[in-house]
Amino acid sequence: MLIWLWPSTPEPVPPPVAVPEAPPPPPVVTKPVVKKKPVPKPAPPPPTAPMSSQRALLRRAMEARAPDLRACPLPPGAPTTLGARIRVARGGATKSVALASGQRLPRELAECLRQRLLQWEFSDVGLSSDVEIFVDFALGG
C-alpha cells in the first residue's frame, strides 16, 4: 500500500491582530505650592486688674464712704458692727445689699443702712466686671 501525501494548501495565517496602543497617561498637572500666610492671633484683651485687686480697690472705696452710714440712728442695744454682702455692677452701681449680723437688727436701722448702701456708686473704681464683696462696717462711734 502506498500512501501518497500531497502537500496540502497551507492554511492562511491570520494577519497579526493589531493591539491598540494604550493611550498615553494624562499629563501630570502640579499645582503651584501656595504658602499660607500665618493668621495673626487676635489681640489680647486690655489688661484688667485681677478680681482680688478689684475687690481691694472696691473695699477701699467702701471704707471711704463708710462714714455715710453714721447718719442712720443707732438704737440702744443695736450691734456695733455689721457685715454686708454687696454686689456692684461693672459700671459702678450698687445692685444688691444683704445685711448680716450676729444680733437681730432693728428694722429701722436695717432699712436705713440698706438704702444708704444701695445709693453708693463706684464708677470711679473702674471695675472690669460685676463684683460681689463682703465688708464689715463699724456702726458705733
45-100 pLDDT, tens per residue?
555 556 678 888 899 999 999 999 889 988 888 888 889 999 999 999 999 999 98
Give the integer Cα–Cα distance in Å for 103 and 89.
29
Residue 70 lies in a domain: no
Residue 97 lies in a domain: yes
Residue 131 lies in a domain: yes
> In whole numbers, what is the pLDDT of the chain averaged over residues?
80
Q: Which residue carries 454682702 as its cell? A: 85
Residue 109 lies in a domain: yes
CB distance 62 to 135 below 8 Å:
yes
The pLDDT of residue 118: 96
Total domains present in the chain: 1
H helices present in 34-88, as ranges: 51-65
Contacts of 137 (CB under 8 A, 6+ apart): 66, 69, 81, 82, 83, 84
The pLDDT of residue 5: 54
Residue 4 lies in a domain: no
Nearest to 137 by CA among 91, 74, 90: 74
pTM: 0.61
Instruction: For residue 35, count other CB atoms closer than 10 A to its CB.
Output: 5
Percent of the chain with pLDDT over 70: 69
Domain limits at 141? Answer: 79-141
Residue 128 lies in a domain: yes
Residue 19 lies in a domain: no
